[in-house]
Structure 1
Amino acid sequence: MKIAIIGAGSIGMLFGAYLAEAKHNITFLVRNPNTPNNLYIEKSNTGEQLIPCNLVYSMDKLDDMDLIILAVKYHHLQSLKEELDALPKNIPLLFLQNGLLHLSYATNLKQETIMVGSVLHGATKKNAHTVQHLGVGVTTVGNWKGEWARIGELFLHHNERFPLQFSTNIEDVLFKKAMLNSLINPLTTIARVPNGELVQNIAYKTIAKNIYDEMLDTFDEWKGRFSWDEVVTLCTNTQFNHSSMLKDYEEGRLMELDTIVGAIIEEARKRNKKLPILNTLYLLLQEKNKVGERHL
């Protein structure tokens, strides 16, 4: 298939690398004219490998794609709306944003078929042209609007380092991912530590477990469906990775605070519940986010 990826950040490049390996024809839409022509992936067991791909700089170059993957941050989506609406309505879109706010955005687009995904890999940009795959996770994809007849082609070439699965209840998958992100991202950002420290350091582990407990008390339907062991496993599998929120803070970018943490706090508010520990971290990060606002 001809697959376009909007955004050559860590997740966009990770998807491009493994989908190219699965024999799909990959095109990246990038805005920065200084983006290197050659992009690479560095896996834990190999050196750098070239990502076979094309680069384009305009959305109108994507009119003949079989699938378009949106791998930009949530706060960059609004600037793309007119261009996305101008694309042929029959081109399926796949959204890979963190959090929950992108769901209403996707619903309001003109495309007939929209899918959303949850990504649990650890990945980071080593430099402008290389992504490092730091931790193997699972990508779960589900339909949000319409149905795509060719979705099975994404799953044809099994890769144990890039497992893909389909869910008929993708909204629950995204909510669980938002809870996981709310457990990891805020605390790693405030403490300035990689993910593994949250389960290796007693103080951080205690704070994370307390946040977990208050979330499960609020969203009690998740008891028995979302275990503390899953949090520990994810932190261990991505132990050397800096969370996306921490990386954004370190590089002076706007953090995805409202779409992840703010969305969970808002869902609790709808139930007349409070998440005092998580809300404290949220307020602290709101102040830190003002640093990122100056770099937009």
Structure 2
Amino acid sequence: MQVPGPFEYERATSVDEAIGLLERLGSEARLVAGGHSLLPMMKLRLANPEYLIDINPLHDELGHITVEPSGVRIGAMVRHRELLESAELAALWPIFRDAERVIADPVVRNRGTIGGSLCQADPAEDLSTVCEVLDATCVLRGPGGERTIGMSEFHLGPYETAAADDEILTEIRIPFRDHGSNAYAKVERRVGDWAIAAAGAAVWLDGPIIVEARIGLTAVNADRSGFGEVYEFLLGKPCTDEVALYAGDLASRHCEPVTDMRGTAEYKRHLAKELTRRALRTAAGRVH
């Protein structure tokens, strides 16, 4: 039986208290909300924190989905089930519902949070791609106050973020954009599994013509710096099946998937191409 190593437990009842505990306990402390990512890693001894700070009481403070004239603010403690069931998010950004429908199972969706997902920085995690496609901004709070950082800069690499040891992710902000929509497409071995590959896309149209686009790939070791080639290709074109397919081919060239028990690298690259096409076509269709 796999069990975590020994640790001490603290429970925070406010954001300020959580920050104070992080500051006092140092780099060996970890926050736990849903725990569905951290606890399995602790059981495998891939993570061995000396202290766990339970932030579930912070749901009252960080469990909001707030629509404002400039965009939407999503608290870091909003649970997957709440994202799935939010009619406001589904109307504004249907990509959230696309992704949440294929994230894990009801048990995980009832407990897991958007903040936990983003801070885990797992390369196969779906909401990171969703937030990147929507050009989201992360709000971090620490002893020195609050700072914001773009989603594309928040993740430094697998399981590594730009958050300092004494900072907590409090909110995700997504700006409003007119004449656009978005979509997410995923292939998994079985319902609730990690993605073999997945793709997110957002497009903005002037009539039938693409005036801006963003894409993201999940679980295929994508090089996001190469996606500019895809955006340049799409600009000024209608989102036909042929255009979307070629954009998918370009996107697949900027990823380096590895062969594992979920599939071969060649198969995953094929999925990256096809799922990018599907996401682009679905997003464009939703604009109208």
Greater fraction helix? 1
TM-score, normalised with respect to structure 1: 0.31
TM-score, structure 2 length as denominator? 0.32
